[in-house]
Amino acid sequence: MDHDVERVNAKAGLRAMMVARRCSISAPSRIKMDLAITSSLALLPEVLSAHHIHLYLSISALAEVNTAPVIDVLAAKQTQLSVPVVQNGDLFSALYHKGDVLRAAQFGQPEPEVYFAVDESDIDLVLLPLLAFDGRGYRLGYGKGFYDRFLQRLGNRGVKPFRIGLSYLQQRLDELPVDLWDEPLDAVVHENGCIRFT
């Protein structure tokens, strides 16, 4: 039990440190890096071939990698998009079109005002937010476990979308503390390119 408590405390400390690290990046630098991330992402074969992409709507107050430029690119090529909606403690996919009316949800994340469920078995690729990642492809999220449970639920149904984290390179750490339920990424796209783990 002590080891579990240590790991929980270690993750909590890392979250605080990584949010502060990300928020310390100047707004002009973040804009430049966000565009570089979008450019790299748009060229990945998995993105080019995807018909249905689930992606997060970025929270600007937390200085997340901005997905608005990504949405512009994907909408232009008419890729079907869905975004996360949290209901009863779990994450589900809601249909999203560029320009849909949004509302601030429980944890400050933007969600569509009107929720239309999608067939999650059609999802080819998932773009995930993260606070940190390591060389094995594990990500540090916000500690609620939404994405881990979401990916496990898809996997239990035989649905295995390609998983890409969007991150600034300075969020990379050597090794993160990992729990049994942590779902690894297939790749991370950052301002200098892409790191693949599979």
Is the pLDDT at 4 greater than 80? The verdict is no
Per-residue pLDDT of 20-72, as tens digits, reads 999 999 999 999 999 999 999 999 999 999 999 999 999 988 999 999 999 99
Q: Cα dihedral angle (70, 73, 78, 80), rounded to 10 degrees? A: -10
Per-residue pLDDT of 66-125, as tens digits, reads 999 999 999 999 999 999 999 988 999 999 999 999 998 877 789 999 999 999 999 999
Which whole number is the average pLDDT over 144-169?
96
Total-model pTM: 0.94
| 16's tokens | 């605080």
CATH C-level class of 2-196: alpha beta
- Distance separating alpha carbons of residues 6 and 77, to the nearest angstrom: 46
Would you list the domain boundaries of the chain? Answer: 2-196
Distance of CA 91 to the CA centre of its chain: 12
- Distance separating alpha carbons of residues 2 and 8, to the nearest angstrom: 10
